[in-house]
Structure 1
Amino acid sequence: MKQLIDGLFRLESARAGNAYLIEEGGRSVLVDTGLASGARALVAELAAARIPPVTDVVLTHYDPDHAGAAAAVQRASGARVWIGAADARILRGEQEPPTRTRRTMQRLGWLGRPEVPAGLHELPGHAEVEIAAGVVAVPAPGHTPGHHLVRWRGVSLIGDAARISHGELVHFPGFLISDRTQADATLAAIAASRPRLVCPGHGAPDRLVGSGGDASRHTAS
């Protein structure tokens, strides 16, 4: 694991999507897990690390490059797995993705089909949920209907709510966005929260331009 700041690490074995670990109050919270193909290495990395027990896994959204290894981590650790309620229905196959492109991607098995963790804990789309002391899951829809980000000590772990380009938040390509109006609002809210560090689902963690992100703006991809 690579330490980013005190209590926050980036997992080095997660495949395709980033996975982060937060140490807080004698427990560890994992945010995203990468592809299922990296599950064995991810579990081994966690087992070898000198960290408190992993009690919770927060999935920012249902895409395979974020949720793929969650079931394996759950089996190894007994952790609870959290995901937005709207995305839980898609992950379980109870509801189709909201756009034609995403339905096609799912039908073709884009990046594989994640194993569904047992007993998913569903996050509401209308309220924040404290996962552990100071570790808060925040609704951040747009990329997917039930997308969430995690806030902790002024850090925003944003999944695929946005990318970072030259210190600014930018959208993913339009075909990956489920609802552009929601995505615009989410991106603006992240910038307005003035995070001291942004940890995206893809690419390196970074600070936004300006003082705590005040100069950040969103642009179309």
Structure 2
Amino acid sequence: MREVIPSLYRVESARAGNAYLIEAGDRSVLVDSGLPSGARRVVAELAAARIPRLTDIVLTHYDPDHVGAAAAVQRETGARVWLGEADVRILRGEAEPPTRVRRWMRNAGWLGRPAIPALVELPDAVETEVVPGLVAVPAPGHTPGHHAFLWRGVAFIGDAARVSHGRLVHFPGFLISDRTAADATLGALAARRPRLVCPGHGAPARLA
């Protein structure tokens, strides 16, 4: 595990997508978890870090490179898992994935497996304080129920945007569920002026 800033660490064993660990007082929070194939290593890395107890897992969105190891980590730790309500419905098969590539992933059996037995739904219309000091902010566009998480001026943005040359920019269009919503989210995140951005892919970075 690599320290990013005090009380914030990057979980190095997460596969394909980034995962971060926040120590927030008496709570320890995992932000995203990587692919299912990395679950055993993520669990081992968290255990080796000797954190008192993982209390919460917050997921930016339902893509498997972000939620995939969450079920295994929850099983080992008993942590609560949080995900945006629209993404919960897609993950459970109650709503249709809104892009062709994700419908293909569903048909291939890549969405919602392994299933996360207990999920706390984050409202998609309002901000939610998940634990003291950590706020879930609706950030739709990449997926309908995508959320970013703000903590001490740090923005965990998942795939709402990526960082290029100190700016927030979009992912390729075929990965975006709603371009109008994605445009609004990108502007809203930039307007927050975070001191540090922790993306779902790539290294943490400061905006220009």
TM-score range, shorter chain: over 0.9
Matches within 5 A, 1:19-168: 19-109=19-109, 113-168=112-167
TM-score, reference length from structure 2: 0.97
Contact residue 67 and residue 114 of structure 1 kept, 8 A:
no
Contact residue 23 and residue 52 of structure 1 kept, 8 A:
no
- The alignment partner of 1:54 has SS state of coil
Percent identity of paired positions between Structure 1 and Structure 2: 72
In the alignment, residue 136 of structure 1 is paired with which amino acid?
V
Are 1:199 and 2:202 an aligned pair? no
The match for 1:11 is 11
Superimposed CA distance per residue, residues 166-196 of structure 1 (whole angstroms, 9 cap, x where no aligned partner)? 1111100000000000000000011000000
In the alignment, residue 47 of structure 1 is paired with which amino acid?
A
Contact residue 128 and residue 137 of structure 2 kept, 8 A:
yes
- The alignment partner of 2:114 has SS state of coil
- The alignment partner of 2:89 has SS state of helix
Q: Could you list the runs of 4 or more consecutive aligned residues of structure 1 that deviate by over 4 angstroms after TM superposition?
A: none
- Partners of 1:67 and 1:117 lie apart in 2 by 9
Q: Deviation of residue 102 (structure 1)?
A: 2.4
- Partners of 1:98 and 1:54 lie apart in 2 by 32
- Partners of 1:119 and 1:191 lie apart in 2 by 33
Q: For residues 105 and 117 of structure 1, do their structure 2 counterparts lie closer, same or farther at Cα, with a shift above 3 Å needed?
A: closer
- The alignment partner of 1:71 has SS state of helix
Contact residue 69 and residue 114 of structure 1 kept, 8 A:
no
- Partners of 2:69 and 2:114 lie apart in 1 by 8
- Partners of 1:65 and 1:151 lie apart in 2 by 21
Q: Deviation of residue 113 (structure 1)?
A: 4.8
In the alignment, residue 114 of structure 2 is paired with which amino acid?
E
- Partners of 2:134 and 2:44 lie apart in 1 by 24
Superimposed CA distance per residue, residues 128-151 of structure 1 (whole angstroms, 9 cap, x where no aligned partner)? 111111011110000000000110
In the alignment, residue 62 of structure 1 is paired with which amino acid?
Y
- Partners of 1:52 and 1:152 lie apart in 2 by 20
The match for 1:179 is 178
Contact residue 28 and residue 53 of structure 2 kept, 8 A:
yes
Contact residue 43 and residue 76 of structure 1 kept, 8 A:
yes
Are 1:170 and 2:157 an aligned pair? no
The match for 1:212 is none
Q: Deviation of residue 123 (structure 1)?
A: 0.4
Q: Deviation of residue 93 (structure 1)?
A: 1.1
- The alignment partner of 1:142 has SS state of coil
